[in-house]
Amino acid sequence: MSDDENGAPDDQHTLGPLILLSLGAGALPEVLPPSLDGRLRRIGYIDEGQRHLFDEFSGPERERLVAFGYHVVDLDVRRGEFADDLAGVDAVYLAGGDTFALMTGLRKNGADEAIVERVRAGMPYIGLSAGALVAGPDIEPAAMMDDPGLGLDLPDFRGLGLTDTVVIPHADGQLPPYPPELIDRTLNEYGDRFTLLPLYDDQALVVDAEGSRVVPSADPE
């Protein structure tokens, strides 16, 4: 798949689609309407990457999905019945937080494999920030933005492999934890080994049967 006019790099589409967000989520209801066959679409919400966080950056994500009109179902990747829980929702949403903490939780009981299987079978995947990063082939490029120490139990830094692209969120440097210098260092350090896509906070990467494209994704006023 060649680069498109929006600058999205070569990619492999899954049946999902994939909706990868940096911060703003305005693209989400446009790509994945809250109504499905006359009922509210059930979104399985995973906040594993936020378990150690108690700040306003991670708090509003769930409430925003409810405000959009989705039926939000909390999913716990640590439950042995996670695969059965996942089977009861229409889409899966991986919230922001620490990328390494999120990947560790996903790997612990095989939640990563269950998610990949369902997405490749057609379930939409939504990921924001860390949730967008883990969708790629490798999470190592997050090492300057998050804490690799939270991934000490990981045998490697493999991502879910749903896309060949590693999204670098907050690339406009507007959030204080991720200044422009940090984004530049990340791109310089990892850009020769991975296909990186710097994603601004008002953008989303959508990967579906039509291809791979970057679209506007500011939150509604």
DSSP string, 137-198: SB-GGGTTTS-GGGGTT-SS-B---S-SEEEE-STT--STTS-HHHHHHHHHHHTTTSEEEE
Phi and psi torsions of 139, nearest 5°: -105, 5
Buried-state track 166-201, b at ≥16 Cβ within 10 A, e below 16: bbbbbbbbeeeebeeeebeebbeebeeebebbbbbb
- Which of the residues 22, 58, 129, 217 is marked catalytic? 129
Specify the residue for token string 């919230």: 95
Smallest CA-to-CA distance from 123 within 63, 46, 48, 57 is with 46
- Candidates 22, 58, 71, 170; catalytic one: 170
Strand partners, 44: 73, 92
**Within 13 Å, how many C-alpha atoms sit on residue 5's CB side?**
0
Amino acid at 14: T
- Concerning whether 129 is annotated as a catalytic residue, the answer is yes
212 in active site: no
| Residues noted as catalytic | 129, 170
